[in-house]
Chains A and B, each alone.
Chain A
Amino acid sequence: MKSVIFRTVAPFLTSLMTLFSIFVLLRGHNEPGGGFIGGLIAVSALAIYGIAHGVETVRRAIYFHPLAIAGAGLFAATVAGLISLFAHVPFMTGLWVYPSIFGVEIPLSTVMLFDTGVYLVVVGSISSVALSLEERGGE
């Protein structure tokens, strides 16, 4: 993409959208949002960056291979279900801990781990498709 305005704005837009995607992911437990929609927002952010600066830049920026990210997400989601094994409750039962970090009580749960896994799976798999399509389109 040749447009100077777009190329200048794209990094800011991408970082804002990535931040927003994480916000959507975290608010998903009790309000609209969640891993899937958050992941899609993150992928759109990456796609915008790819249109502006080329696919190679995006691949360098996310460091890991998109499919490796998806694999890590799938692993996290499976582990989130399997933790219940040690608590003697059925698969996928939500387990909560409330650690206090710097005096603030942070509720953490296997549900959140699962949702983070979904987020990573969506980011990895969809961005892999999107990036390969962009690569082809650029030829």
Chain B
Amino acid sequence: MEAWFALLVGIFFTVAVYLMLSKFIIRVLLGVAVLGNAVNLLIFTGGRLTRGVPPVIAGGADALDGPAANALPQALILTAIVISFSFFAFLLVLAWRAYEDLSTDNTDEMRVAEPAKEPMPPLGY
């Protein structure tokens, strides 16, 4: 099962890297979103795939009754989802603003902060 998940994670990473290599902001953004999911899946697989009940101790007992699912990777993923969600929201707004203000979504043409042709610094006093 882990092997299949590893393959799936690999496919996710491939798609993400391919999209992020694009020049267009919106594709890069989609790539970042896929990348976040790839990592979440990676953590999930890294925490061992087990079929188990939630680690909740039943009333009247002091210890777990049989094997239980590992809750920590899920907690990590939940945190990562929240963070990547908020980042995605921010970057989406930012990309939209960039498209409005710079009137392009091609990163090659985004040269406002670093103009393409700049004069040399003065060579003499």
- Whether A associates with B in a native complex is yes
Asked if A129 is at the interface (CB within 8 A of a chain B CB), the reply is yes
Asked if B96 is at the interface (CB within 8 A of a chain A CB), the reply is yes
B contact set with A: CB distance below 8 Å: 82, 86, 89-90, 92-93, 96
Partner of B89, one of A36, A129, A136: A129
Evaluate contact between A125 and B82: CB separation under 8 angstroms.
no
Q: How far is the CB of B41 from chain A (nearest CB, A)?
A: 20
Partner of A126, one of B89, B92, B96: B89
| Total contacting residues, chain A, CB less than 8 A | 7
**Nearest A-chain residue to B90, judged by Cβ:** A129
A contact set with B: CB distance below 8 Å: 36, 125-126, 129, 132-133, 136
- Extra A-B contacts (10), CB below 8 Å, given A132-B93, A136-B96: A36-B82, A125-B86, A126-B86, A126-B89, A129-B89, A129-B90, A129-B93, A133-B92, A133-B93, A133-B96
Q: How far is the CB of A96 from chain B (nearest CB, A)?
A: 18
Bound Cα distance A36, B92 (Å): 21
**Nearest A-chain residue to B81, judged by Cβ:** A36
Bound Cα distance A16, B93 (Å): 29
Residues of B within 8 A of A133 (CB): 92-93, 96
Give 4 closest A-B pairs by Cβ, nearest first: A129-B89, A36-B82, A129-B93, A133-B93
Bound Cα distance A44, B59 (Å): 36
**Nearest B-chain residue to A30, judged by Cβ:** B56
Q: How far is the CB of B80 from chain A (nearest CB, A)?
A: 13
Q: How far is the CB of B44 from chain A (nearest CB, A)?
A: 18
Of the candidates B89, B92, B96, the one having the most CB atoms from chain A within 10 angstroms of its own CB is B89
Bound Cα distance A95, B43 (Å): 32
